[in-house]
Copies of this chain bind each other. A is one copy, B any other.
């Protein structure tokens, strides 16, 4: 099935072709943009298939629909990925709509990547996953144009990438135990929490593993007394830190909590951009930076500076993502204290290849740009 639409947008001719194919569990839709400008952009809405149902405090998913971007300019082909976050009113469609609106920005000089990011940011509020995808593609393009890997472009040591935690979604104790046992290479496990059975889950996991745990409550605890009690209970059971105990905008109760907890609390849903950091520095011990929340690699680097200025701990996290976006985030891990970059491990139809695990540490490809290549036919 193939449908073509030609739209005139901002003086650019856009050819849109949508179709579905089935290759195992791959479902895709395509859209091409070619035109008078020198840049070609195409996007795929790609359905990532989770190996097992993925339950957080706010819902359950079996698939996630991400947008993959292919950008071609001056003979260089670069890639980006958005993992839209429903919590912030994003979907694959709204991300893709943003990308279409951004075409005039991509027509400009990609070397001036700082200006391009500011223009993307000014285009519309939110849709940060789409901004992250474009920023990623632009920097992949810059690295490939220079013929150097992005870790080198950023002045980082490929041998200093961090180990990643392995995430265990909310499930029955038995399934959570099995998941923990299925991933012996990971020295640190991340447990999703924020539901009624949190203690049962931790106790169950402690029956099968003594590895350090980190916990992500995803705003699930309803008040500060409950959060304090849970966190200090977890502290005695080998939990190293807890992410986002309560509602993102409730800085006051997190401030109260910070003074009382025995282990650090990290902001996740509370932090997006650099401007969020000063206010939450007194409410958390650290922040979780995600490309999809902040809008890309450039803003992530700025967040590192701002967090360090405030003496905050830094972790880098992810959504359910292919190894393209994971490679981008893994590139920055030498600047962080913790990495939670396992989104691509949780899926069974990764559309990119080139990023490999060495134990629980991502080995960055020693190729230009992000160094990963798509395994999608006809793209």
Question: Contact residues of A with B, CB < 8 Å?
Answer: 109, 111-116, 142, 146, 148, 152, 154-157, 160, 274-275, 277-278, 281, 298, 301-303, 305-306, 308-311, 334-335
What residues on B are CB-neighbors of A112 within 8 Å? Answer: 155-157
Supposing A305-B305, A306-B305, A306-B306 touch, asked if A156 and B114 sit within 8 A by C-beta, the answer is yes
Question: Are the CB atoms of B275 and A115 closer together than 8 Å?
Answer: no
What is the CB-to-nearest-CB distance from A308 to chain B, in angstroms, rounded to a whole number? Answer: 6
CB distance from A117 to the nearest CB of B (A): 8
CB distance from A76 to the nearest CB of B (A): 15
The residue from B109, B155, B281, B306 contacting A115, defined by CB atoms under 8 A apart: B155
A156 touches B115 (CB 8 A): yes
- Across the interface, name the chain B residue whose C-beta is closest to A301: B305
Classify the interface of chain A: helix, strand, loop or mixed. Answer: helix
Q: Which residues of B contact A157 (CB under 8 A)?
A: 109, 112, 115
Partner of A278, one of B116, B154, B156, B309: B309
Q: What separation, in Å, do the CA atoms of A146 and B149 have in the docked complex?
A: 12
Q: Which residues of B contact A114 (CB under 8 A)?
A: 154-156, 334-335
Shortest Cβ gap from A279 to chain B (Å)? 10
Q: How far is the CA of A305 from the CA of B273 in the complex (A)?
A: 11
Contact residues in B for A335 (Cβ distance below 8 Å): 114
Q: Which residues of B contact A154 (CB under 8 A)?
A: 114
**Chain B: minimal CB distance from A54 (Å):** 33
Point out the residues of chain B lying under 8 angstroms from A281, CB to CB: 278
Q: How far is the CA of A329 from the CA of B335 in the complex (A)?
A: 25
26 A-B interface contacts by CB (under 8 A)? A111-B152, A111-B155, A112-B156, A112-B157, A114-B155, A114-B156, A114-B334, A114-B335, A115-B155, A115-B156, A115-B157, A115-B160, A116-B155, A142-B155, A146-B148, A155-B298, A274-B309, A275-B309, A275-B311, A277-B309, A278-B281, A278-B310, A301-B305, A302-B309, A305-B306, A306-B306
Give the Cβ gap from A250 to chain B, nearest Cβ, in Å.
21
Complex CA distance for A306 and B308, rounded to whole angstroms: 9
Per the bound structure, the CA–CA distance linking A309 and B275 in Å amounts to 4
**A156 and B47 alpha carbons, distance in the complex (Å):** 36
A157 to B119, CA, bound (A): 13
Question: Closest Cβ of chain B: how far from A274's Cβ, in Å?
Answer: 4
Q: Which residues of B contact A306 (CB under 8 A)?
A: 274, 305-306, 309
Q: Are B274 and A308 in contact (CB under 8 A)?
A: yes
Q: Give chain B nearest CB distance to A135 CB in angstroms.
A: 11
Residue of B nearest to A109 (CB): B157
Question: B residues within 8 A CB of A160?
Answer: 115
Complex Cα–Cα for A316 and B309 (A)? 19
Residues of B contacting A278 with CB < 8 Å? Answer: 278, 281, 309-310
Smallest CB gap from A277: residue in B? B309
- Nearest chain B residue, comparing its CB with the CB of A117: B155
The CA of A148 and the CA of B112, in the complex, are separated in Å by 13
Name the 7 nearest CB pairs between A and B, nearest first: A302-B305, A113-B155, A274-B309, A114-B155, A305-B305, A306-B309, A112-B157
What's the Cα separation between A303 and B305 when bound, in Å?
8
Q: Which residues of B contact A309 (CB under 8 A)?
A: 274-275, 277-278, 302, 306, 309
- Provide the residues of chain B in CB contact with A111, threshold 8 Å: 152, 155
C-alpha spacing A155/B281, complex, angstroms? 29
A301, B302: Cα distance in complex, Å: 9
Kindly list chain B residues whose C-beta atoms are within 8 Å of the C-beta of A156: 112, 114-115
Closest B residue to A309 using CB positions: B274
